[in-house]
Amino acid sequence: MSNMNGHEHNGNGNGEMTLFLKIWRQKCCSEKGKMCEYTVKGISPDISFLEMLDILNQDLIKRGEEPVVFDHDCREGICGACSLVINGIPHGPEVLTTTCQLHMRKFKDGDTIVIEPFRAKAFPVIRDLMVDRVALDEIITSGGYISANTGAAPEANSIPVRQENAELSMDAAACVGCGACVAACNNASAMLFVGAKVSHLGLLPQGEIEGRERVYNMVKKMDELGFGNCTNEAECEAVCPKGIKLSNIARLNRQFALSSFLKKDDGGLKQEWN
């Protein structure tokens, strides 16, 4: 049996699939990359996308070829390490799903699947499908923290938190820092990521203290590292595996405008956050 591309495929009736992969191969960021074609056979619809790539890599190793390099860690949708663009969509066709949680049942026997790395100026390719996302860590270092004494946990009711703020903060805290929002954006903007961090920390009393500096410093760092600006395309929200909302970008813009207004030439603030 052959598909529309003329490829022979399995169709063996036991649910196992033959898939035709077009994968971006690149030795390092200073060398040119190219798409390479591979065929994987006997793929169960119940395995994950990364397990399918593991099978491909086993085949490549057996044949004495270089395995495909890709990023992954938890494989449970919580660390944000996996980072593939699958058929043009960061994290692939399943909404609210990281690449590691995408299963092969989303594809059909005989499908051709195009797999590329996240593409953005701030994310140079390390090798093949793995990109360097240290720029997101640098944004976090510039303000994505609170200063608090560690030690025994304080009594839970000693700091009252408005219910609405607690909910919005927790929703924003779901961001796993994967960078899919950057990869999906025409401008390679990291505004959804930064907006999530600013909401997560700034909406709680513990994070309010450094709120103004946080917003200002994180946005400045984002610009410095080569991320673009937001032009309200909303591609970021569409691909975010954690459902981070655009309203976080609106909050970021409002708070950045106020922080910029309050900023003094010596780097201090004209008045406190209120």
Interface ranges with ligand FES (CB under 6 A): 72-75, 77-82, 98-100, 176
Among 50, 130, 176, 219, binds ligand SF4 (CB under 6 A): 176
Q: How near is the Cβ of 83 to ligand FES at its closest, in Å? A: 8
Q: Which is nearer to ligand FES, 74 or 166 (CB)?
A: 74
Instruction: Count CB atoms within 10 A of the CB of residue 62.
Output: 8
Instruction: Give dist(CA 93, CA 77) in Å, integer.
Output: 15
Q: Which is nearer to ligand SF4, 47 or 174 (CB)?
A: 174
The tally of CA atoms less than 13 A away on the side-chain side of residue 151 is 5
Sketch the per residue contact string, 224 through 243, with ligand SF4: x for CB under 6 A, - otherwise: ----------------xxx-
Given ligand FES, ligand SF4, none, residue 179, with its beta carbon under 5 to 8 Å by kind, binds: ligand SF4
Instruction: Count CB atoms within 10 A of the CB of residue 239.
Output: 21
DSSP secondary structure, 60-93, as one string: HHHTTPPPPP---S-SSSSS----EEETTEET-S
Token pair of 15 as six digits: 């649910």
Residue whose pair of structure tokens reads 């500096």 in the numeric block: 213
Position 222 contacts ligand SF4 (CB under 6 A): no
Position 180 contacts ligand SF4 (CB under 6 A): yes
Instruction: Count CB atoms within 10 A of the CB of residue 151.
Output: 6
Among 192, 203, 204, 215, binds ligand SF4 (CB under 6 A): 192
Q: Which is nearer to ligand FES, 78 or 238 (CB)?
A: 78
Among 115, 196, 215, 222, binds ligand SF4 (CB under 6 A): 196
DSSP secondary structure, 88-100, as one string: TEET-SSTT--GG
Given ligand SF4, ligand FES, none, residue 180, with its beta carbon under 5 to 8 Å by kind, binds: ligand SF4
190 beta partners: none
Find the helix or strand (DSSP H, E) in which 22 lies: strand 17-25
Given ligand FES, ligand SF4, none, residue 244, with its beta carbon under 5 to 8 Å by kind, binds: ligand SF4
Residues that bind ligand SF4 (CB under 6 A): 175-181, 192-193, 196, 240-242, 244
